[in-house]
Amino acid sequence: MAIVGAGMSGLCMAAKLRQAGFDDLVVHESAGEVGGTWRDNTYPGLSCDVPARFYSYSFAPHAGWSRNFAPGAEIQRYFVGASADLGLRRHIRFDSEIARADWDGRRYRLRTTDGHTDHADVLIAATGILREPRLPDIEGLSSFAGAAFHSARWDHSVPLRGKRIAVIGTGSTGVQITSALAGVAKPLTLFQRTAQWILPLPQLPYSPVSRAALRVVPGLNRLSYRSYQHIMELVFGHAAVEPGWQRSAVAEVCRSYLRLAIRDPRLRAKLTPPDDPMCKRLIMSASFYPALRRRDVHLVTDSITRVEPAGIRTSDGRLHEVDVIVLATGFDAHAFLRPMELVGEHGQTLSDAWRDGPRGYRTVAVPGFPNFFTLIGPHSPIGNHSLIAIAETQADYVLGWLERIRSGSVSTVVPTAEATEEFNTALRSAMPSTVWTTGCDSWYLGADGVPELWPWTPAVHRRMLASPVLPHFQVT
């Protein structure tokens, strides 16, 4: 078995396999350490927007989280530690990037970018969704005389204190960076294309007593995990996908917080989004609005015309002179395996199969590609939920098929095109009830303008993947 990627989901799959007694597995990781997005992103203010005690493997709880929303470096240390504690590191080939995988009718032939080859009976893609930085197409960006870099490629050699810093982008990353650098930069200028709704969830430290209690009584950690899971699914799991009190409550909290936190009517107007809360990924922050009230933080809503050596020119003709430009412009959330090329039955490539957009079977498989599974694949429930919980559900499903292959009752398995089409038709039919179709432009949307998300609750996802529907597959 070959797993592509040693980020959160790749480690999850490897751990599940090891726990089930599978030992002949290799995890191909293109970088030199595990962690995926938590390894690559090191920008100031980075933290998870899911409670740390829920953003953990259920089979590897951690009692030492310092805060309810853990800092990025702390999460990265957790994954590094888990990879060692669970005995996974001997299965990982670091600096091994898969360029191409070809199905020969029996197994996959893998070729790395440095020319090495390998073979696998089963191929599992755990490449994640937030890994390919999206750079803005801004005229003159390369002419800037100062330092300019994407938030996922943070240049720590660049001094920040007392510098004139521009942040382009107001998604979760831009909000976190702005909050962290307010008072450090002199001044900080935030360039906003579209305002975002903010849910005021504060960063609260865990006391040494509570951390000690979780270490002494492990059951408390399990209870904490399930409590956060219940709350997240009860509120956000329903709010995004169906009208009801949950959606109304989240919306009212966001709107009330904006009214109370921003008293200046002109600034409030600039920060009022044109769409409904949760139409885009909801941002959790209790420090962003206070940061924008500072005299040394400026919000610019005029569009960027071009970048010049001295700074950023906006549509009102003004030149904003800056020393550092931070591109908090997100990722290509539709890249999935790319640039890796996957070739399945009859020479069909995944690029051809997904020419009109990523389509899969129940978030875990793709027709035409035998013995190939995806974790956090197309249409996974990724909206304001713990991706670790989603990856565990998917890994358990994949494990069920691998048990059948190990027993000898199955050699190859692939979902049918009919079952995949039926699933995608149901997805599209359910989408109008979700908040993501209420009229906003977000990274959730595919090329056809339809959200590439799970339109039901996470509980429905667990039930759907509880066991395989055998008629949906071609099995040999």
CA 287/CA 359 separation, integer angstroms: 38
Residue 439: the pLDDT is: 86
- Mean model confidence pLDDT for the chain: 95
Count of alpha carbons within 13 angstroms of residue 64, beta-carbon side:
6
AA letter at 330: G
- The pTM assigned to this predicted structure is 0.95
| Secondary structure of the chain as H, E, C letters | CEEECCCHHHHHHHHHHHHCCCCCCEEECCCCCCCCHHHHCCCCCCECCCCCCCCCCCCCCCCCCCECCCEHHHHHHHHHHHHHHCCCHHHEECCCCEEEEEECCCCEEEEECCCCEEEECCEEECCCCCCCECCCCCCCHHHCCCEEEEHHHCCCCCCCCCCCEEEECCCHHHHHHHHHHCCCCCCEEEECCCCCCEECCCCCECCHHHHHHHHHCHHHHHHHHHHHHHHHHHHHHHHCCCCCHHHHHHHHHHHHHHHHHCCCHHHHHHCCCCCCCCCCCCEECCCHHHHHCCCCEEEECCCEEEEECCEEEECCCCEEECCEEEECCCECCCCCCCCCEEECHHHCEHHHHCCCCCCCECCCECCCCCCEEECCCCCCCCCCCCHHHHHHHHHHHHHHHHHHHHHCCCCCEEECHHHHHHHHHHHHHHHHHCHHHCCCCCCCECCCCCECCCCCCHHHHHHHCCCCCHHHEEEC
Residue 48: the pLDDT is: 95
AA letter at 305: T
User: Per DSSP, what are the bridge partners of residue 165?
Assistant: 188, 324
Residue 209: the pLDDT is: 94
Q: How far is CA 351 from CA 5, 112, 326, 387, in A?
A: 19, 18, 32, 25
pLDDT digits (tens, 9 = 90+) for 47-61: 999 999 999 999 999
Residue 182: the pLDDT is: 98
Q: Which residue is listed with tokens 């069909």?
A: 348
pLDDT digits (tens, 9 = 90+) for 443-462: 788 877 888 889 999 999 99
pLDDT less than 50: residues of the chain: none
Residue 382: the pLDDT is: 85
Same fold across 2-132+332-475 and 141-197+247-327:
yes
* CATH code of domain 141-197+247-327: 3.50.50.60
Number of Cβ within 10 Å of residue 280's Cβ equals 23
Residue 128: the pLDDT is: 87
CA 10/CA 25 separation, integer angstroms: 12
CA 390/CA 442 separation, integer angstroms: 21
Residue 129: the pLDDT is: 83
Of 174, 180, 173, residue with least CA distance to 290: 180
Residue 468: the pLDDT is: 95
Backbone angles phi, psi at 136, to 5 degrees: -75, 150
Q: What are the residue ranges spanned by the domains of the chain?
A: 2-132+332-475, 141-197+247-327
Which of 3.30.450.260, 3.40.630.10, 3.40.630.30, 3.50.50.60 would CATH assign to domain 2-132+332-475?
A: 3.50.50.60
Residue 239: the pLDDT is: 95
Number of Cβ within 10 Å of residue 357's Cβ equals 13
